[in-house]
Amino acid sequence: MRPSLPVAIQPAIKLGGTSKSIKVYTALSTTARLVLQMLNQSGTFKDGRIYTLGLLLGLVAGFLDVKFGDLLLSALFVLTATMLLGALRPRRPWRWTLLVAVFVPLVQGVAYLLLTEKPYRAQIYESFLGFLTGIAGAYGGSTARRGLVELFRER
């Protein structure tokens, strides 16, 4: 028995796009479920906004990588996005790297399945390099925020 699918996916199934539509839907719904679990664990709505911002920045980073195919541009965007998120929430900065950088290869894979222009295998592998700049950005932003708080703390 097939699980019930949203109405937006059902016309694609009637046209014969069953496997691709279901794979894309399950990939996106799994990602959404993981983000919702992180939101529930954080406990505050304020953190939910930051997670949503991270999700959007990750999607933009993936779009930049697919649209322009420039590793440097997407790596610098991941760096600045994770640095911003690390400065906004300096506790546990590794989560911002995971949240933003995971979308670069994910969007690259979805684009490989859906678009007519196929990237080279090396482009898909190099999309994982966003994790390196993401680590540097998240921990750099976290360290900068903690340093500024320490410098300007009233005694």
pTM: 0.69
Q: Over the stretch 96-105, which tens digit does the pLDDT of each residue have?
A: 999 999 999 9
Summarised one tens digit per residue, pLDDT across range 66-84 is: 888 888 999 999 999 999 9
Structure token pair of residue 93: 């900065």
Whether the CB-CB separation of 81 and 61 falls below 8 Å is answered with: yes
In angstroms, the Cα distances linking 51 to 47, 64, 107, 112 are 6, 20, 18, 26
N-term to C-term CA, the chain: 66
